[in-house]
Amino acid sequence: MAQSAIIAGVGMTDFGKFPERGLKSLASEAIVAALADAGLPPGDVEAAYMGNAAAALITGQAMIAGQVILRSLGIGRIPVVNVENACATSATAFQQAERMIACGQYDVVLAAGFEKLFHKDKARTFQVFMGAIDVEGIPQFLASLAKNEPVPGDSASGDKRSIFMDIYASAARRHMERYGTTARHFAMVSAKNAYHGSLNPHAQYRDVLSVDEVLAAPTVSPPLTLPMCAPIGDGAAAIVLVSEKKARAMGLKDGVRVRSSVLASGWEGSGLSDESVVEYASRKAYETAAIDPRDIDVVELHDATAPAEIICYEAMGIAKKGEGARLLEQGATQLGGRIPVNTSGGLLRKGHPVGATGAAQIVELCEQLRGRAGARQVEGARLAVAENGGGFLGADAAATVVTVLEATGQAR
């Protein structure tokens, strides 16, 4: 019989550029914090799902990163699964850990995401992102992108910037053409998230930006300016999940219940559906959790660029198609609004160390649901949703995880 997984503890590092720190240092900090938050010793962990996307290219650590990190903490013998799934890496680790609890396999499971993405040779970092598309089709893919460039022949994809900035810029231009969305709307997302990030002590960037400042910043890939693009950085986040039986034995009063967590892969061109992978995963997550998007109190979503946030509003059912920008104009997605989005500052300001991003979203939402988010607290938050996507195939994300979380007790 399936049971709910309960989040008993969370932890994360600051996000930023930490050339002096290694994977073990970052991951250990987050894991130790999560175990302390749960009030459990390392020896209680029965299995671990360890997420990392870029270490093989950035640090040279491949294949056994999870075992290396856990060994440094004195955790061994347990099953350790190393997870890599583009920017959805640690959300996937979390989803797999949650499933193992739900099916009764374990009572205590660790899910963690950790990343060293910053490198003095930027080409090395950009190579990570080039690996998140079909590498055998790169020439054709670049040619396809070039057809939609505002200035033909001006592409620097994978050379001077991440190829994903051009992918998102192309999607932004299509949204503008179809629905009348403007660059100013995108700047409103960046300004909103900058304010939220200024309240988050873990955020990579904590300066407040105005809409005009965002618009006046250097252009990365039209219409994207620099503050509309998530920064490169390092960091780690960790989550301790327990079974309902274990939660009762612990006397856990403020655990966060996982109502659903859906992992899906993009399948553009299949002819099965016109739904994007975010639309599909959101629909399945809501159905499983038996909720309506109107029930949601707070959201963390994958704003790798500012336009992606608006597009996700619509794909997640928070707004109707073409009406995402209206939510910004109404102030609905800022703190104090009807449905605050990216209270952490999002990827744009909290940062985007890709292997840690999904787990960090869960950490933020747990803090919200437990009433521990400080100045960025959403009053009365009881139901939260995280959306984390990664990679690109055809015309869609390669992987997406949508998770629904619910507060179960009183805030600490």
C-alpha 163: how far from chain center: 18
CA–CA dist 298, 228 (Å, integer): 21
**Active-site annotation holds for 302:** no
CA–CA dist 12, 300 (Å, integer): 16
Say if residues 362 and 385 touch (Cβ distance below 8 Å): no
CA–CA dist 366, 351 (Å, integer): 18
CA–CA dist 382, 370 (Å, integer): 9
Amino acid, res. 203 = A
- The residue annotated as part of the active site, out of 119, 175, 196, 352, is 352
**Active-site annotation holds for 87:** yes
Report the Cα–Cα distance between both ends of the chain, in Å, rounded: 31
- The residue annotated as part of the active site, out of 87, 229, 312, 366, is 87
What residues contact residue 257 under an 8 Å CB cut-off, 6+ apart?
Answer: 4, 5, 6, 7, 405, 406, 407, 408
| CB-side neighbour CA atoms (13 Å) of 86 | 24
- Strand intervals (E) in 173-265: 219-221, 224-225, 234-243, 256-265
What is the set of active-site residues? Answer: 87, 352
